[in-house]
Amino acid sequence: MAYKNLLQLEKKEKNKRAGFTIIELITVITIFSILASVALSNFGGFTDAINLSNLAQQVAIYVKKAQTSGSLGKVIGGYNFQPSAFNPGAIPIYGVRFQTLNIPHEFCYFADLDGSGGTDVPCTEKVEQVTISAGYQISNRCVKLPGLSTCSSVASGSDLDILFRRPNLSAIILGPGSDINDSNTWGECAEITIQSPKGRQKTIVVRQVGQISTSGSCVSGGIGQLQS
């Protein structure tokens, strides 16, 4: 009888060791929930950073596209380029306009058909109007003029134009007060800053010499991933 009771006791002890108590289960679930929330939070930040980086590359690629088309004098069917004081030979000129910050979710890839050194408002000479992903926006634009050590922000109601014309790879950077017929008023460098819904920022840097990058700044002289 004593032996039978001992076997039953051992069986009960094994059953106790085979499972979790309520307290142990609650503890495990709590730890798992904390780890899951941290992982999801980090994943959201990672996704935001990747999307922002991809968007910066997209913007830089459009500037590069204007550079390629302009330097080659590419002719697009249906586009009739007119002679002007700036462009007497009616050479195809292409550019990108980063419009007033009143329209922060768009920018314009255009052909300068009338040789005015820009495009009309609202970008009537556009080849393509590019819409930025929902929640992302252009948060700032600045131009560094020759001889200055700072990059001056373009006023929210003004435009920033970056143009290219054959046979040069160099950029014509036009901010407020720039005169297309006076190269002394052209920018030496321009920055376009984009911002994610989470407040992260990424800057595209375009230099007069034709470099296009997605890191650094006009002041630091950094060179990013996309350059000429």
DSSP state letters, 42-107? HHHHHHHHHHHHHHHHHHHHHHHHHHHHHHHT---TT------SS-TT---EEEEEE--TTSTTEE
pLDDT(58) > 90: yes
Instruction: Kindly indicate the confidence band of residue 137, based on its pLDDT and cuts at 50, 70 and 90.
Output: very high
Instruction: Kindly indicate the confidence band of residue 75, based on its pLDDT and cuts at 50, 70 and 90.
Output: confident
Instruction: Kindly indicate the confidence band of residue 174, based on its pLDDT and cuts at 50, 70 and 90.
Output: very high
Instruction: Kindly indicate the confidence band of residue 122, based on its pLDDT and cuts at 50, 70 and 90.
Output: low
Local structure of residue 100 (DSSP, 8 states): -
Does residue 194 contact residue 139 with C-beta atoms inside 8 Å? yes
Please compute Rg for the chain using Cα positions: 29
Q: What are phi and psi of 148, to 5 degrees?
A: -100, 150
CA distances from 73 to 78, 81, 93, 165 (A): 15, 11, 7, 7
Cα four-point dihedral sign 160, 164, 165, 167: positive
Higher-confidence residue of 207 and 85: namely: 207
**Which residues are registered as beta bridge partners of 189?**
144, 207
Instruction: Using alpha carbons, select from 186, 224, 223 the residue that is nearest to residue 208.
Output: 186
Q: Does the domain formed by 41-213 have CATH 3.55.40?
A: yes
pLDDT(224) > 60: no
Domain ranges of the chain: 41-213
pLDDT(139) > 80: yes
Q: Classify residue 82 by burial, with Cβ atoms within 10 Å: 0-12, 13-18, 19+.
A: exposed
Give the 3-state secondary structure of residue 29: helix
pLDDT reported for residue 68: 93
- Residue 4: Cβ within 10 Å count: 8
User: pTM for the full model?
Assistant: 0.75
